[in-house]
Structure 1
């Protein structure tokens, strides 16, 4: 975590970004959508700083070190756990593994949620692909 604290003005500015879930003087919680976008664009060769700038973040407010550490953390989680590793689980997870056996209904609900997440990821990738195709057409 960065040692630099955000001012009230910076917190207000950051809070207005649609890719920010929450922000305090000590840190930023980004949306799961932004993390997926970041991974997708980063794997296509885009630099972390450029991804943040393209999505409305002020680099001078966030700081290069915070961008670098966020990118490293998200890439590691993605490579280890896949797209599910990018989800913010702090609200629903105490950190302890579940001791009870899941019922068939609970397993089904989990698989259904995972399936919906993958469908959403595919739709996002399709939108990015279409936007890139339009951009290439315009450049010709």
Structure 2
């Protein structure tokens, strides 16, 4: 089945979104920041559709299939390569490391900090839940 094709109006609406890098009639490229946010919230137990909606996307416009497929790709990339697996690959840099500007490095480290904070909060909640179960016995 072919993916839903966006109208010109829908593409213009999507282009205005801060977490959209580019849009064609059939493809959306999301920013690396949104992918990191998605993984952090996904690990907190939020559903993909909720994550998209809570970050300002029209989930009906995107469609459930597109959201599920993006979630699958990002989870797989994160599992295999960690946070770096979520970054868009730069064309022509096969096997070469791109030199980061200070702003890019800062943004990457800030995203990593936010992710680790979310992960720590999740672990704290799990620990509290386990303690609650142990004291109930």
Counterpart for residue 4 of structure 2:
4
Give the unaligned 5+ runs of structure 2.
Answer: 120-137
Matches within 5 A, 1:36-115: 36-93=36-93, 97=95
Give the unaligned 5+ runs of structure 1.
Answer: 99-105, 130-140
Ranked by relative contact order (alpha carbons within 8 Å, sequence separation 6 or more), the top structure is 2
Counterpart for residue 35 of structure 1:
35
Deviations, residues 85-112 of structure 1 (Å, cap 9, x unaligned): 001114344xx546xxxxxxx79x58x9
Q: CA separation of 1:2/1:47 partners in 2, compared to 1, >3 Å: closer, same or farther?
A: farther
TM-score, scaled relative to structure 1: 0.71
Corresponding residue pairs, total: 119
- Kindly indicate whether the alpha-carbon contact (under 8 Å) linking 1:78 and 1:85 is maintained by their aligned counterparts in 2: yes
Q: CA separation of 1:2/1:77 partners in 2, compared to 1, >3 Å: closer, same or farther?
A: farther
Cα distance, 1:69 vs. partner?
Answer: 0.2
TM-score, scaled relative to structure 2: 0.72
Runs of 4+ in 1 over 4 A off after TM superposition: 114-118, 126-129
Paired with 1:2 and 1:127, the residues of 2 have a C-alpha distance of: 39
Asked if residue 22 in structure 1 is aligned to residue 22 in structure 2, the reply is yes
